[in-house]
Structure 1
Amino acid sequence: MSARLVLLGGALMLGLWVAGCDDGKTVQPPTDGGTTLDSGADAGDSGTVDAGDGGGGKSDFACNVPRQEGCAAGQDCLYTDLADGGTGSQCFAGACDVVRQDCPSGQRCTYVGLDGGSTERQCVAAGTATEGAPCLLANSPPGQTYDTCAAGLYCKDESQADGGAAFFCRKLCHATSDCGSGECNTVLRLPGTRELPLVCGPASARCDPFAQDCESPLGCYPASNGPVCAGQGTLAEGAACEFSNQCSPGSTCVMTNGHGTCRTLCRTAGGSPGCANGATCRAINNNSGVGACAP
């Protein structure tokens, strides 16, 4: 249940995801799945862009984590580390879902450490520690290790002002809509599993995508509720992408027909910067004054 927050400042997924290499570390995942062109009611292009959950044609992302789409019954869509060092999503079979909490009455679904070093989702006795309350390892049956948190929560360590660490119950999530406050933006790295579950964390820092005023090495990118600071990518204009911050700062991932392309940011209503080479500045939903240059 050890975890450490590596500040990426946003929940935008990127192929070069900065992650800890040791068991139990915590990083921040996607806020959204990129920027999607809205087809409009008339089946034509409405001229707006949606910085929502998107989805793309890249095989690294086999399913949609926030929407829990693309998997068969009995499977969950979760983020995972890929063999090439990147991050993607895959369908994982498991005994239960840690967000839906579909265990029998009196039990909860959580990640359980097993003898031999593996970790699995299992139904176990529900704990009593509430969200935000201190937690510790439960008096669990032989061969099992889990914490004292109530259903839907996980015991996560957090750095303290004195340089030490303390453990608190944090809410497990698939998407920010699962969080009562904050955002679904922290990944737990647990020993003995390829699954990367998410918990709710503090809201990402807001920023100006034109001023790029985030603290280095973060960049400012459009997200579902306005621009936020996030770990920055390096993909150039026109490169294929899946999430907004795979692209270089000053650009975003625009999804059309299931395929993403890095496009330069622009100010709407004829502001500066504008678009070059005949491209049109199309407004990004929920990102006031911010658009993307699209053909």
Structure 2
Amino acid sequence: MRLSPRSPLVLALALAACDLEILDPILTGGNSGHASESGPPAETSTGTTADSDTTAGSTCASNDTCTTYDSDSGAVFVVPPDPPAACDVYSQDCPSGFKCTAEGPPPLDVDSITCSPVVADPDQAGEACQVLVLGHYGPDTCDVGLFCDDVDPQTGTGTCAVMCHDNSGQPQCDADSECFGYHHIPLCVPHCDPLLQDCPAGDSCQYAGVDFVCLEVVALPANQLFEGCGGDWYCAPGLSCVDSEAADECSSGPDGPGCCSPYCDLSAPTCPGLGQQCQPYYDPGQAPPGLENVGVCALP
């Protein structure tokens, strides 16, 4: 996953507002926002415009883009729509045709969460998607309850990931995934087996409190066997960040005081370090179903 639970969601290509590259427009209805090329609105016989929304000093309807006309100066002004109301990403409480998601440039904060229009024929979970403004978190082409994740900063393409939903106050995902709160964008990340490392390319199977889930390797190139680390997310897939005393071969480095050491199978234990043994990863009786044989190589 490109979103990291340990640092703000950051895209490598963060463009300034004046240099945004728009990939595809989103049409939300209402006027185009451009002044008419044929001149100001036609006046009625009483000297007022035919539409009260185009008179001098008028206000426009909420959530719509319109124009105003100053009869004294002849100037035509474009009035942008009011900003969308904040929303709840868990309950997806936006109006029909909108979804609660993140938009705008980094940094990601509560003001980034908004009701965003759902595009026609939106992409579904697991399908390729597009972020419509390079360097921004959104809008994107995913359906309601989905977020365009694992985004290539050069092309704006990614994959639609499922956002956690709220069931009686508890964030929920399906049985094959776990809810992770990614700085206001909670995503359902898949469970995995650290002995199989059965995660998508670019992710590794990392410990997440109780279970193992697929998370992004933050530092690339990833640290290799016995190299220093500050957490599992620094180590290459198949390696866990353990205490540097877990192996005589451990080397210190700028990434932290730990050491990348392999996971191992307690039913067929093998370890690369001199004197290392396959030690149980979980305390007795604490391993989730299917992970009872997970161990990590360390000195006794």
Higher strand proportion = 1
Which structure would you say has the larger Rg?
2
Structure with the larger RCO, 1 or 2 (CA within 8 Å, 6+ apart): 1
Q: Normalising by structure 2, report the TM-score.
A: 0.35
Q: Normalising by structure 1, report the TM-score.
A: 0.36
